[in-house]
């Protein structure tokens, strides 16, 4: 019975460690990314999507002239990794 208690306790700790690590991976909120997009000239947001595997925010929109803008933001640090205007 004691072994079962220890095993269940370790399993609970593992689940807690995994969930807290996953929550930490995305520390930049969608609201912050939205504001970053507006600060960099996007006036019409078409899409903001979190890519969990790459841990980035992908932003698509248009500037005031109607040109397309694509932006990738690191979801942990908030650093802009890519900004492309077409």
User: Residue 83 has what pLDDT?
Assistant: 97
State the pTM of this model.
0.70
Backbone φ and ψ of 77, nearest 5°: -100, -25
Beta bridge partners of 74: 56
Q: Which helix (H) or strand (E) holds 36?
A: helix 30-39
pLDDT digits (tens, 9 = 90+) for 41-61: 999 999 999 999 999 999 999
Q: Which domains does the chain have, with CATH numbers?
A: 2-85 (3.10.450.40)
The neighbouring-strand residues paired with 1 are none
Distance separating alpha carbons of residues 57 and 80, to the nearest angstrom: 9
28 secondary structure, DSSP code: S
């Amino acid at each position: 019975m004691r072994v079962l208690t220890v095993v269940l306790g370790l399993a609970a700790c593992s689940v807690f460690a995994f969930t807290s690590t996953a929550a930490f991976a995305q520390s930049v909120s969608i609201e912050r990314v939205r504001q970053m997009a507006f600060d960099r000239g996007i006036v019409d947001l078409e899409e903001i999507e979190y890519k969990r595997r790459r841990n980035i925010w992908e932003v698509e929109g248009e500037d005031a002239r109607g040109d397309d803008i694509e932006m990738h933001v690191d979801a942990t640090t908030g650093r802009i990794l890519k900004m492309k205007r077409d």
